Structure 1
Amino acid sequence: MSQSRNSLSTSALVAIAIAMGAVVGAAGIYWKASASGNAPTDESLASADEVTCKADPDMLAALKPLARGEVAAMAVRDDPVALPELEFVSEQGGALKLSDFAGQALLVNLWATWCAPCRAEMPALAELQSKLGDDDFKVLAINIDTGDVAKPKAFLDEIGVANLGLYRDASMGVFNTLKKEGLAFGLPVSLMVGKDGCMLGAMNGPAEWASDDARALVEGLKGI
């Protein structure tokens, strides 16, 4: 009888987990993966032959221990990998792509106004940009709300965030590209991108980007 109850309990938990996964997939709501779950397979990513990825594996190895504490979910790669080109627009509608920011290390963050964890971490991202943003580093926050620019602009105005700019992809193409590559399971999504445009790490879910842990990680990123 006890074994039967245990089997039923396990089955129920599995069913709940499957149901929750279905909801996440349908709604694009934040799902926090483990550090290992954040790492995509090499086969799913763009070929590094298309882009020269310059990060030294030894430097990446030194970066890994910095993914700890508040940013422990950041899965730093063993080797840099080329990303598909990500295309989006400025607040004024000008066409942009990730390669336009070559020469700066980036923390690329996808967010939406309907994503509660995204809204919660936006002030911390702004603080990170304020403290560490320079010619060598930028927080590149890309909004994926559908519709016009009014809603995300109103949200940033409401919370007083003006230093991140308002980059957008109302088609959600950026998110869907990263989802296809095994990098995005929900929102927010954050990628560490080196100065050569190659991805050095990825995480799903929010982080305390204003923390000492986050600043140490970004300082390490800037040195690569």
Structure 2
Amino acid sequence: MTEKTSRRSTVGLLSVAALLGVLAGAAGVYVMESRSGNGAASQTAGAGQCQAAKDRLASLTPLMKGQVAAMTPVDPPRRLDQLTFKDGSGAERRLADFAGRSVLLNLWASWCVPCREEMPALDALEKAEGNAKFEVVAVNIDTGSDEKPRAFLAETGVAALKPYRDASMGVFNALKREGLAFGLPVTLLLDDQGCLLSAMNGPANWNSAEGRALVAAARDGGVKP
């Protein structure tokens, strides 16, 4: 991706977020549920293990504004340990594998225009903030082979994000059953214990000041007094 194209993409994304605000989900692409499944928590399963996350959520909620105003707190926070997808080598991964670091989980597809516009910001966020305490986990849900998503990442210069995949769309289906996903992109913020803090449907500029502040607060245990 050229610098000019990157700037144009970022400006376009900023405009979408600024105009839609809390209605940013409307800019997403509706997705029909496939027959494939995946593991996930029920509405209450794991909630008892997330008391600390519930206490922390009060300090995070005021940060869900500006470019990430469409983020919605999940009350009560709950664990989604059993969500599965594959890494770049084809090995199965679960959200439980990321224990010890906070995660911004993002589902995207190469045919989803808002997803494509959002990817450079997610890549920049991972490049700037990704470490042992935080990772952007962007999971592609294109059906079929890895060819299209890999080509897209290469064409757009996305280099920091790891190539996670779920060609079965099972991870999307599981989140839809949880009432967390109806279209793409969908983004979830989880703390270092795997507790879901907030979710949104639709694009956002995650490399904005608001996006980075929200991520930092989730990573560091909330806004410090």
- Give the TM-score category using the shorter length: 0.7 to 0.9
In 1, are the aligned partners of 2:81 and 2:95 still within 8 Å (CA)?
no
The whole-number CA distance in structure 2 between the counterparts of 1:98 and 1:47 is 15
Label 1:97 to 1:46 Cα distance change in 2 as closer, same or farther (>3 A): farther
The answer for the alignment partner of 1:159 in structure 2 is 156
The whole-number CA distance in structure 2 between the counterparts of 1:61 and 1:127 is 27
Q: Secondary structure at the match of 1:103?
A: coil
TM-score normalised by structure 1 residue count: 0.78
Amino acid at match of 2:43: L
The answer for the alignment partner of 1:48 in structure 2 is 46
The answer for the alignment partner of 1:147 in structure 2 is 144
Runs of 4+ in 1 over 3 A off after TM superposition: 23-28
State whether structure 2 residue 191 is matched by structure 1 residue 194: yes
Structure 2: give runs of 5+ residues left out of the alignment: 1-25, 35-40
The whole-number CA distance in structure 2 between the counterparts of 1:123 and 1:24 is 21
The answer for the alignment partner of 1:24 in structure 2 is 30
The whole-number CA distance in structure 2 between the counterparts of 1:137 and 1:84 is 16
Q: CA RMSD in A?
A: 2.2
Label 1:162 to 1:210 Cα distance change in 2 as closer, same or farther (>3 A): same
Deviation at 1:77, TM superposition (A): 2.9
In 2, are the aligned partners of 1:57 and 1:79 still within 8 Å (CA)?
yes
Amino acid at match of 2:119: M
* Alignment map for 1:65-144 (pairs within 5 Å): 65-83=62-80, 85-144=82-141
Amino acid at match of 1:97: R
Label 1:24 to 1:130 Cα distance change in 2 as closer, same or farther (>3 A): closer
Deviation at 1:84, TM superposition (A): 5.5
Amino acid at match of 1:200: L
Label 1:86 to 1:57 Cα distance change in 2 as closer, same or farther (>3 A): closer
Q: Secondary structure at the match of 1:126?
A: helix
**Aligned-pair identity (%):** 52
Structure 1: give runs of 5+ residues left out of the alignment: 1-19, 29-42
Deviation at 1:134, TM superposition (A): 1.0
The answer for the alignment partner of 2:15 in structure 1 is none
The answer for the alignment partner of 2:212 in structure 1 is 215
Aligned length: 188
CA deviations 1:201-220 (Å, max 9, x no partner) are 10000001111010111111
Stretch moving more, 99-108 or 75-84: 75-84
